[in-house]
Amino acid sequence: MTREPVRMTRQGKERLEEQLQYLKTTRREQISEYMGKAIEDGDLRESAAYDEARMQQSENEAKIAEIEAQLERAQIMKDEEIDTSAVGVGARVIVEDAQNKQRTLEIVGSFEVDVLKGKISDASPMGQALLGKRPGESAVWPGPKGNVSLKVISVEYP
């Protein structure tokens, strides 16, 4: 397992802590109840419900361990360390493509990615190309069909 810092926004860390709390309390309890019902049903050697509960328990515990490791290595930049005039982790960026179509992106740590909500990783090719760019500058990175370019229109930090 890598010991590299996990960059994330303050809000991302809070969401991760909430998810961890949910998995450790509510989800564990749900799985325990499900497993209890499967045990009450009888023969565990051929119980699909028990096998399913054990699989859910295993997945839940793995997710808990993953989140704990991420939180242990979490690196959140202090507000005074952020150059708010340039793109960085936590920035909301309005960009424009070659067809003059604008869209809003948020630069986040890799575990926070949600492409459908416009949240892209700082480690992705697009994210890396945008890091450090200021309004008026263009970010270029290699895409599957050639270079892709986006012009930074504005940078904002919540």
Closest CA to 155 of 84, 57, 75, 58: 84
Average pLDDT, the chain: 88
* Mean pLDDT of the region 13-35: 93
| pTM for this model (two decimals) | 0.65
Sign of CA dihedral 84, 85, 86, 90: positive
Sign of CA dihedral 52, 54, 58, 63: positive
* Matching fold, domains 6-75 and 79-156: no
Residue 103 has pLDDT above 90, yes or no: yes
Which one is predicted more confidently, 111 or 153?
A: 153
Task: Give residue 44's pLDDT.
Answer: 66
Domains of the chain, by residue range, sit at: 6-75, 79-156
Task: Give residue 136's pLDDT.
Answer: 96
Fold of 79-156: Chitinase A; domain 3 (3.10.50)
Residue 122 has pLDDT above 60, yes or no: yes
Residue 143 has pLDDT above 80, yes or no: yes
Which tokens hold the place of 64? 């808990």
* Mean pLDDT of the region 13-29: 94
To which residue do tokens 């986006």 refer?
A: 150
Q: Please provide the CATH number assigned to the domain covering 6-75.
A: 1.10.287.180
